[in-house]
A and B are shown apart, each in its own frame.
Chain A
Amino acid sequence: MNCKRIQELLPLYVGGELDTEQLQKITTHVRSCEACLESANAYREVRQLIHGFEPPTFSDSFYAGLRKQVLGELETKGHSPIVPLLAGFRWPSVRWSLAAALLVAVCALAFYFSVDRAVEKQFVGPSPTVVRTTDELTSNPDLSRLKGSGAEKGRGNTPPKRKRVFGAEPGAGKSIERSQLRKEAEPLERPGKMVAGESPGNTVTSVAGTEDLPTRMLRMEIQTKDQNIRIIWFSAPPNNPDSLSDSHKGI
């Protein structure tokens, strides 16, 4: 270390703020360098001078007055200690985080409800229902493939879940209401009769099983506008179409 570097470190050297290695180096240097020793002594005097910067002795009455003033202020202004939970709201970072979280929540809710409404609109439109029997299924290889996919695997009684279709045109499909099902259930009792409706986009196909199947099953197909998405579900047909069983509650 040269004198310049030592001079830079001397203010910290006199206060003992350096590490042991630097302390030893400077001590060795100061012993041999008169200018640096003089400078170190000057900084020691400065430290002593700083220690003399003491406040005056305030009297007890001064402190009593201070306390009285503080307590009086507390009573008049009605200050109360802030509980830790509420104290958090005073920090700007917490406030901003909460505001951001609230905004995101509001956006998510708005998105959820707007999409839900769009789906509702989408399924309300002119009747696109096509009800086909199993005879038709056997004659149409495409449909028979569909028949084999679900009914024979014993999933027929599974209550259907409502499926949302995004991006389809409004009015392209039809929502199947319970009252509508009652109307449509009647033709299903008579095999071979077909009830069909035109649809510009989505097609809903309902297929009733016949005696040649192990059990009479109601097969519902919804073909969305997208060729890759087809909703199929099975359920036991109602004995009395006017009184739907619990298995149809999901329809």
Chain B
Amino acid sequence: MSVVIEIQLPVNALTQHQTSLSVLIERAASGDTQAFEQIMILTQQRVMAMTWRMLGNDADARDAAQEVYLRVYKHLGRFRQDQDLFAWLYRITVNVCRDFSRKRHNHGERFMPMGGSAEVEALSVAVDEIGAEDALLQAQRRQLITRAIATLPHKERMSLILRDLEGLATDEVARIMKSSPTTVRSQISSARKKIRIYCEQCLKR
């Protein structure tokens, strides 16, 4: 005897989501701050993750995310309904993070990895769940990759994050970076080589 379980997925889930999003954008563009807050709720995690990966610490990531939303609100009128909202958000985020990096560079600072209460919190949770040894190993690996990414030039870091961590296609990355797919592939290749070399040198020590 066999039991067949049929799960009916909502067919138009994606379309409905897009429609609601476009309605929210339209309302926000006409000055409705509540609609804009809804957009923020839908996108905040991605934006924060992106800014944190690009800038490497909580405080800068938060400031950058704030600036991203201010720019988004300011330029909502320019957003076309046929555009992908997240691609548009990524482009703004990339620009904001580039500006932050420049400012930091002018002040003699570089990518500042780690630190912050959230990091400590995440580590303490991990220690309880997985065990001390695994948690330590994971923390070391994380520190290693964070430092390795910190050594990358800004454009290579952006391309790598968008491709490997945000999971975008090379063409999409190229559009966001206002570059060509060949250039993006070259940047990604270079970034992976540099990270490999960095990790090998660290493990040899």
Could you list which residues of chain A lie within 8 angstroms of chain B, going by C-beta atoms?
8, 11-12, 14-15, 17, 42-43, 46-47, 49-59, 62-63, 66-67, 69-71, 73-75, 79-84, 86-87
B44 and A63 contacting across the interface, CB-CB below 8 Å: yes
> Is B29 in contact with A81, judged by CB distance below 8 angstroms?
yes
Kindly state the separation between the CA atoms of A84 and B83 in the bound complex, as whole angstroms. 15
In the assembled complex, the CB of A77 is this many whole angstroms from the nearest CB of chain B, namely 8
Which partner residue on chain B sits nearest A86 by CB separation? B77
Contact between B41 and A67, CB atoms less than 8 A apart: yes
B8-16, B99-107, B127-135, B142-150: which lies at the interface: B142-150
- Cβ of A57 and Cβ of B118 under 8 Å apart? yes
Tell which of A56, A59, A66 touches B66, judged by Cβ atoms closer than 8 Å. A66
Q: How far is the CB of B89 from the nearest CB of chain A, in Å?
A: 14
Contact pick for A70, options B40, B121, B160, CB 8 Å: B40
Partner pick for A81 among B28, B53, B196, CB 8 A cutoff = B28
Closest CB in chain A relative to B106 CB, distance in Å: 23
A46→B192 contact, CB < 8 A: yes
**CB-based nearest A residue for B25:** A81
User: Looking at chain B's contact residues, is the secondary structure mostly helix, strand, loop, or mixed?
Assistant: helix
Contact assessment for A12 and B33 in the assembled complex, using a CB-CB cutoff below 8 Å? no
B-side contacts of A86, CB under 8 Å: 77
Q: Which residues of chain B are within 8 angstroms of A63 by Cβ–Cβ distance?
A: 41, 44-45, 48
Contact B66 A87 (CB under 8 A): no
- Residues on B lying within 8 angstroms of A by beta carbon are 28-31, 33, 36-37, 40-41, 44-45, 48-49, 52-53, 58, 61-62, 65-66, 69-70, 73-78, 116, 118-119, 121-122, 138, 141-142, 144-146, 148-149, 160, 163-165, 170, 185, 188-190, 192-193, 195-196, 199-200
Q: Is the CB of A56 within 8 A of B119?
A: yes
Structural contact, B195 and A84, CB atoms closer than 8 A: no
Interface centre among A47, A52, A59 (most CB of B within 10 A): A52
Tell me the bound Cα distance from A17 to B118 in angstroms: 34
- For the complex, give the distance between the alpha carbons of A14 and B192 in Å: 10
- Closest chain A CB from B34 CB (angstroms): 9
Residues from chain B with a CB closer than 8 A to the CB of A42 are 196, 200
Partner of A53, one of B53, B69, B77, B199: B53
Q: Which residues on the A side are within 8 Å of B188 (C-beta)? A: 11-12, 15, 17
- A residues near B78, Cβ cutoff 8 Å: 82, 84, 87
Can you name 30 A-B pairs with beta carbons within 8 Å? A11-B189, A11-B193, A15-B192, A46-B196, A49-B148, A50-B160, A51-B164, A52-B142, A53-B145, A53-B165, A55-B48, A55-B52, A56-B116, A56-B118, A58-B48, A66-B62, A66-B65, A66-B66, A70-B73, A73-B70, A74-B36, A74-B73, A79-B70, A79-B73, A79-B74, A80-B74, A81-B28, A82-B75, A84-B78, A87-B78
Report how far A14 CA is from B145 CA in the complex, Å.
18
Q: Please judge, given known A-B contacts A43-B196, A49-B195, A57-B118, whether A71 and B37 are in contact too, CB under 8 Å.
A: yes
In the bound complex, how far is the Cα of B173 from the Cα of A27, in angstroms?
Answer: 26
A4 to chain B, nearest CB (A): 14
